[in-house]
Amino acid sequence: MIVVAAGAGVRAGPGDPKQFRSIFGIPMLLRALRPFTSHPDVGQVVVALPPGFAERPPEWLGKLRGERLALVTGGATRPDSVRAGLAALTVETTVVLIHDAARPFVSRETIDEVIARARAGVGAAAAVPMSDTIKEVVDGNRVAHTVARDRLWRAQTPQGFPRSMLEQAYSRLRGDNALPTDDAELCERAGFAVEVVADSPHNLKVTTSDDFRIAEALARELR
């Protein structure tokens, strides 16, 4: 599997890259890694890091590096980082999971179901159904109409795919294409079947300083 942790995290404010910041005393990236490194069906974890960090990782991360966990340098975009991760996977890997380092609260149940769907030959994306009312806005702030939400889901990670599917999808991505926002979108574009796996809202993405405060409270609750 691949953990994408190469972003600068500028929206989180000044300081260390957000993936290395602590949530209730534990680095966020470590919280994101543990459910996978402890999972019996995850044979290898590749972490894509910002330039320089694969060679000189934080001490707590360097201690984890070994046969089961590899560190690679990611790229300027998410596809670049995933490609770097794919290149580092062993040839025996036939199913690939991809997870955001900024999602530190993924559950074992979600991981299990994503793996099961990918093993069945389809792409799978952890997601939650939309509960908010969705407005399409034009001209800055004018509501054009209300979007029916009954078929809308908010995509999360992990996402899982047969390795051959993911590699084919990436082989079709060209420099002049709009970059996909996640790997499920890339596989959709390539014509592959992708399904959603019902996930928990607890599997939030930590992006801003406000998100860190929410994550801190959630970590205290889940300890």
3-state percent breakdown (helix, strand, coil) of the chain, nearest 5: 35, 25, 40
What's at 68, amino acid-wise?
Answer: R
User: Given this model, what pLDDT does residue 222 score?
Assistant: 86
Question: What tens digit of pLDDT does each residue of 146-186 get?
Answer: 999 999 999 999 999 999 999 999 999 987 778 999 999 99
Would you list the DSSP string of 97-152?
A: EEEETT-TT--HHHHHHHHHHHHTTSEEEEEEE--S-EEEEETTTEEEEEEP-TT-
User: Given this model, what pLDDT does residue 11 score?
Assistant: 57
* Sole residue written with tokens 């991809």: 98
Residue 96 to residue 128: CA distance in whole angstroms: 21
User: Given this model, what pLDDT does residue 9 score?
Assistant: 54
User: Given this model, what pLDDT does residue 175 score?
Assistant: 77
Reported as a pLDDT band with limits 50, 70 and 90, residue 8 is low
User: Given this model, what pLDDT does residue 14 score?
Assistant: 55
User: Given this model, what pLDDT does residue 138 score?
Assistant: 96
Question: What tens digit of pLDDT does each residue of 198-212 get?
Answer: 999 999 999 999 999
Neighbours of 107 (CB within 10 A): 14
Of residues 14 and 99, more confidence is placed in: 99
Total domains, the chain: 1
**Which range of residues forms the domain containing residue 141?**
2-222
Residue 211 to residue 223: CA distance in whole angstroms: 18
Question: What tens digit of pLDDT does each residue of 9-57 get?
Answer: 555 555 678 999 999 999 999 999 999 999 999 999 999 999 999 999 9
Torsion 66-70-157-122 (CA) sign: negative
- Give the domain CATH number at 163: 3.90.550.10
Going by C-beta distance under 8 Å and a sequence separation of 6 or more, which residues neighbour residue 223? 24
* Sole residue written with tokens 């809202």: 201
User: Given this model, what pLDDT does residue 177 score?
Assistant: 75
Of residues 176 and 90, more confidence is placed in: 90
User: Given this model, what pLDDT does residue 154 score?
Assistant: 96
Question: What tens digit of pLDDT does each residue of 107-122 get?
Answer: 999 999 999 999 999 9
Instruction: Say if residues 78 and 55 touch (Cβ distance below 8 Å).
Output: no
Angle between helices 163-171 and 78-88 (to 10 degrees): 130
Phi, psi of 19 (to 5 degrees): -65, -20
